[in-house]
Amino acid sequence: MVRLIFALLPLFLSEAALSQKKDTADRTGFNVTGIPVLNFNSDEGFGYGARVSFYSYARGGYNPYFYLIDTQISFTTGGKKEVFVFFDSPFLLGEGNRLTGEIRYQDNNLTPFYGLGHESTFIEALTKEEDASFINEDYYRFGRTRITAWLDYQRNLGSFRALAGLGMNHTDVSTLDGTTALQDDNLVSGKEGGFTNYLKFGLVYDTRDFEPAPNRGDWIDLLFEWSNKAIASDYNYRRLTLTQRHYFPLTDNLVLAQRLAFVQSWGDIPFYETAFIASTFRIEEGVGGAKSARGLLKNRYLGAVETFGNLELRWRLTDFRMAGQNLFLALSTFYDFGGAWNNLDDFSLDTLHGGQGGGVHVGWDENFIISIDAAKGEDVGLALYIGIGYLF
């Protein structure tokens, strides 16, 4: 694994040279960085594409930047195509006011679906042509084309930040040839796709000492989403998401990082929306997979009630220089878990599912980090995840 991560260094060196320093308040003007996108995870295969980031520092005095525009186009060997433009500015509307938004197009003709609730099953033999119980190689897959646009506004309120936002999602759902789990499930809502527009309100508490790789502090989000036909949504539902993260330094180079998330939905939420976890920055998919619970299949456990958590020990092994850059090498070990239920009455710790593993991380100038994590879980022999940054 160590050899693999160092083999990737040249691909990211241009980004490392231009990545944001821990203190950028003395920078002025405009900066553009462009890098190839290269990643891998066991759920989607190899990813490749290009990413261009535009940083404005204006007249100086802004940390980490006056605004950021992040653009990317990428493809994976697992059938996913994605284009997005992401915007973030902590100062455009004045100090203490943050504006964040994104426009994204995603087409994935092999999106996973295993059913809803804790009784959903994964029987690998159903996808193996050589097995007597074979049904379809893509039995646990469906097609999903999705366009999203959202905008969040945050304002400082003492030690907290208040958040208000709105979003528009349109999703096309298509079933694949042959019999699939989605076709066999007559109870799920949302097979016809449509709009899921929403209003979002929240409260944020953030005391992290350094966002990309915190050594101490807390980061807690409480978010409420309201989707209704009154705002041109095709569905009426409400969703509450609570995510708690804590970073505790055991020694100068050893950090215990912990995350716990809980999601509850009410109303007519379409099945595909249960895969997306609300956030104050990037919106990712779970429960299970590279962004939520490693060692579990992507989107393996979905439902009206979801939870997942991570306990990770991060050891900063050494600091060194290469090609004129300041780098560090870190190791980690972790345990992730997750579960989903159709209602809160079904919740039980006995129906949680876990994965465990370890990782190697190389960082440049503190905040640009390449991570390789490997995990083993109940449905996964050994899963590999290569990407940018720590999981949380």
The full 3-state SS of 149-192, as one line of letters, equals EEEEEEEEECCEEEEEEEEEEEEEEECCCCCCHHHHCCCCCCCC
Dist. CA 167–CA 197, nearest whole Å: 6
pLDDT of residue 20: 45
- What's the CA gap between 233 and 317, in Å, rounded? 50
Closest CA to 81 of 101, 103, 104: 104
Q: Give all strands (DSSP E) within 90-136, no chain letters.
A: 97-112
Q: Give strand pairing partners of 240.
A: 224, 264
Query: What's the rounded Cα separation, in Å, for the pair 102 and 86?
Result: 4
194-195 and 237-251 beta bridge pairing: unpaired
Coil/strand/helix, residue 196: coil
- Give residue 172's pLDDT: 98
Write out the two tokens for 237.
Answer: 């539902």
For residues 357 and 376, the answer to whether their CB atoms sit within 8 Å is: yes
Alpha carbon distance 386, 91 (integer Å): 33
Taking 50 as the pLDDT cut, the residues of the chain under it are: 2, 4-7, 10-21
Q: What is the DSSP letter of 336?
A: E
* Ordered domains of the chain (ranges, CATH): 2-388 (2.40.160.50)
Asked if 314 and 334 count as a contact pair (C-beta separation under 8 A), the reply is no
Find where tokens 């390789």 sit: 372
What is the C-alpha to C-alpha distance for residues 363 and 195, in angstroms, rounded to an integer? 40
Model pTM?
0.89
Is residue 307 within 8 A of residue 261, CB to CB? The reply is: yes
> 172's torsion region: left (phi>0), alpha (psi -120 to 50) or beta?
beta
Residue 74: per-residue pLDDT:
95
Cis peptide before 287 (omega within 30 of 0): yes
pLDDT of residue 18: 42
**Residue 25: its pLDDT value, please?**
59
Helix/strand/coil percent split, the chain, to 5: 10, 55, 35
Give which of 108, 97, 41 is closest to 66, Cα–Cα: 97
96 contact partners, CB below 8 Å, separation of at least 6: 155, 156
Q: If DSSP codes are grouped into helix, strand and coil, which group holds residue 247? A: strand
pLDDT score of 22: 52
CA distance 52 to 34: 4
d(Cα 325, Cα 334) in Å, to the nearest integer?
29
